[in-house]
Every structure is written in C-alpha cells, then in structure tokens.
Amino acid sequence: MRFNFLNIGLVSLFLLINSLVNMANAGLITFNEYNNFQWFDNGLVIQNNGFDIKSTSLVNTKGAIASTSNCGPSCPDNGDFYLLGHGAGFEFTTVDNLGFSLLSFDGAEAHNGAEGFFAKRIRVSAVTVGNVTVNQYFDLDWVNDGNGPLNDFQNFTLSNEFTNLKSIRFEGVDGSNNFFSVDNISFSTTDVPEPSTLAIFGLALMGLASRGLKR
C-alpha cells in the first residue's frame, strides 16, 4: 500500500512538473499601436508581442506599416494598420529565442483593382527548432470585398506542422510585383518555468521518495 501511495505521488508530481514546463500562452500580433505609414528602411526592425519583425528585401522593394489610406485605387481595410509587403516579405523571430506555434493570420492583396501589382498567393515559410522547413500557400481572391467580414482581409489557418518554430516568413508569390498585406497574426508560445520553481518541485519529489523508502 505504501509503495502504491508513493507511486501515485511520484506520478502526480511528474505530471504537475510536466504541465508547468509546457504551459502555452496565446497571443495576437496586431499593428494597432502604429498611427503613421512607415517603410522598413535602413534595416529597420520593429518589436511586437515578443517578436522581432523585419523586411526580407535587400533592394528598392520593401515592406511597410500601412493602412487603408496608403495605397490605391482602393486598399484592403482591416480597421487599423497592418503590414504591407511592397514586393517584399517579412520575417518574424522571437526576441527570447523560444519556440512558438503559428495558428492563423488575416491576409489580403495590397492594391485592389490593380491586378498587375499584387500577389495571387501568400506563402508562409517556417523553420522549426529542429531546423526543418515547412511551407503553406494561401490563395487570394483578387476581388475587392473578399470572403472576410471586412474589406478583403480573409482569415487563414495554419496546419499543425507550424509548431515548435524558431522563425516564420510571409511572402507574396505568383504575381508580377507580389504586393500583399497581413494582419492579426495569431500564435502561441510555451512558457518555461524559472529554475527555482523546478528546483522546488524536484526537491519535493525527492523528499516524497525518501519518506516512502524510509517507511
């Protein structure tokens, strides 16, 4: 009976520690805090919700923080500022280098009514913590007022391959200039408890085991 009690205690503590190590936090990257158009010039890197975000372009084409008033003849409208890929993509890495999962995002063309400029699809590429590259493509409708509730931003869901990542990249593809827009990027991260927390539970586990053996 004593050993059964000991086993139950050990298993319970193990499960508790495991749950602490794997606590997941959901987050949403929006660009609501920006109120001015801004190019990603001169290697600009912005930080948002624990991520470093930069443009992938090395030439004149570049990314920008934009809104519905920053392009024509009409623009996607998600109610606030968003990332505009002006012939360039965007790369996201976490500031603390912890792994994360990508869940969903809102995507759109950039210049509605100017088909020669915008992408037909958005490609999302990611590199996992194990250095495996995964890709997924999302078709844009090329029509003003798309399937979403707002003006042509549609919500796209990532496959379960986009877990335990160290970086992601959004790019417009299959168009002449590949302009595209992204906003409301949903992700989750895994919290790692402080070493002191794990040490306390480790000592409790050892104490319980020692007490059971003495009996």
- Per-residue pLDDT of 16-37, as tens digits, reads 444 444 456 889 999 988 888 9
- Per-residue pLDDT of 42-82, as tens digits, reads 778 999 999 999 998 766 668 899 988 877 777 888 888 99
Range scoring the smallest mean pLDDT among 71-75, 162-166, 177-181, 193-197: 193-197
- Per-residue pLDDT of 99-156, as tens digits, reads 999 999 999 988 766 666 788 899 999 999 999 999 999 998 766 555 555 557 899 9
In a domain, 208, yes or no: no
In a domain, 175, yes or no: yes
In a domain, 91, yes or no: yes
Range of the domain at 57: 24-192
pLDDT cut 70: percent of the chain above it? 68
State the pLDDT at residue 157. Answer: 97
State the pLDDT at residue 58. Answer: 60
Q: Which residue did the predictor score with more confidence, 68 or 8?
A: 68
State the pLDDT at residue 111. Answer: 74
How many domains is the chain built from?
1
In a domain, 198, yes or no: no
State the pLDDT at residue 10. Answer: 45
State the pLDDT at residue 182. Answer: 95
In a domain, 140, yes or no: yes
Residue 14 has pLDDT above 50, yes or no: no
Q: What angle (nearest 5°) sits at the alpha carbon of residue 168, between those of residues 154 and 62? A: 75
Cα 45 from Cα 54, distance rounded (Å): 5
In a domain, 125, yes or no: yes
- CA neighbours within 13 Å on the CB side: how many for 21? 11
Alpha carbon dihedral 21, 163, 96, 13, in 10-degree steps, equals 0
Q: What's the CATH number where 123 sits?
A: 2.60.120.1350
User: Do residues 152 and 170 make contact, with C-beta atoms less than 8 angstroms apart?
Assistant: no
